[in-house]
Structure 1
């Protein structure tokens, strides 16, 4: 039963979603990805073209090519990489966004976006062997260390630095993801040290041992933010579960697996709706849902967590099949489209297709496909 569901999801991902984004969502002349698409697969101009979106698309097509060797994906890689470098790397650092006409819009360097430079360039390098990506990864790392590092640990949100900004765990989570990818691509121990620092930050500050929840928002010295520090996201709990298992392959430590287990338990107990899907946000203290809507990305992170967490094979297969069936019923639409938001009753909200979401959909499904190849008789 799981294999049948997986085959259907595999077809949706590769033959519909990625095929259509490749055809309609990538500018044929300049090679960049559109920020957003309408449901008829026409461009939805939103007034900005972010570095983040370009990098997520570069990652997705690079990793998809690594899995499938599909020439259509391969053909998108170098033009997209070249566009990113030409348009966003200014004065030895990465800028945040362009206008729709591709003129410069926002010159800040954003830590969250830099994480996806690391992730996408590492997979681009592995997919193509183009070693032009290597110095940009090194420069990105050096910029983070020299210009964005905070004395209290971790990194500031953006450069130029605003020390009054709310500190967040989210950019650090994605930086961990990026550094894991860069280390796996280069085997450079410099990046292993960065992984270690981010894991220490999670254990010391992000994880609240009293509530067993992953805090999101902090003051400058890593205290829970007095106004919004109670708001936590089940999807990020699942995302950290998967990342902790990836990090443990590089830096084995029982503390990481124990943390993953705590985060998993909190999220499955309090973040999953009785009628299916995963809430956007819950209260870290009362565990009550604060935002009962269900974006698509949290359930993709749940898929990834299920593939790694230490539970029985029967439970694992049941959880995967249930989640994939829910996604087919409520999120996936014909012709490679999807519902970005559901309300608490699983009714879809009218919303275009963000260029950042296929990263989540792809990686969630790719991890399940890879797991199934190893643990069942499923073949890609």
Structure 2
């Protein structure tokens, strides 16, 4: 499909020895018969990818040409309380896209091509067991009025993963069968193959949006913003719940005018049916000094927008790392202003979560 041709030309596959023992592993290897195959002890232990500062210069080439296959060891659910009630075991890590603000390189090293975990049946079984223990959602909450919501794409973009693997289809099929649970994932790609997955209202796709002229700088290798907006109606018609992530909100001179124009474009594009079910998340930019240093090696133009120590401050994240966020007092004021701009043009768009 076009999505694969545009983003991926797999020449090298690193894989753990056990990958061949799983049906999905065999399926993926067969999809790329001409790729060089390199057996590695662990998807985390690939010196030429992880922690290799020299790979910065080949950032995009590696993302386009390299695939990593592994077996997911930990299958526990993690409480969330923001985008979802629970974070499901990741069936992927890394991405073919190259957003300059992505947090994964902070943890994974200088290059983070797609890593797919082939034991998707085990992940599905773990989710089903966990959901079965929850019972019904006791009361409507800001996450969902009816279902427990599981984020199934925390560390990757499932729209792109679905172009490589049948694992995403299996996850969406699973949630059709769970009477008390719904899947959710964020995406910056438009993969129209997903329109045939028949989610029956049990999968929420969150299209990430920002002003197009800023996305052209920081959302590297992603679908254009107008294409993402135009896809919303089709995904709603195909049975998905579709929300939007205004993420990340990056502050710069005249940011308000750009966001007002984006809201107007969304309002003019969406059908009444899409508007009736639309909700959003608002996530202000989080940056990181180490990622800043990495970006200077491959995309310094993005850092003119992302690295603003004059209006940012250090803060320890939930994971224990030290990141940069907009200064607390001002961040609150900017969020208030952002919500006011949204309400002026899209009063029907409920803010589920703002951070």
TM above 0.5, yes or no, is no
Structure with more contact order per residue of length (Cα contacts < 8 Å, sep ≥ 6): 1
How does the TM-score come out when normalised to structure 1? 0.29
| Structure with the bigger percentage of helix | 1
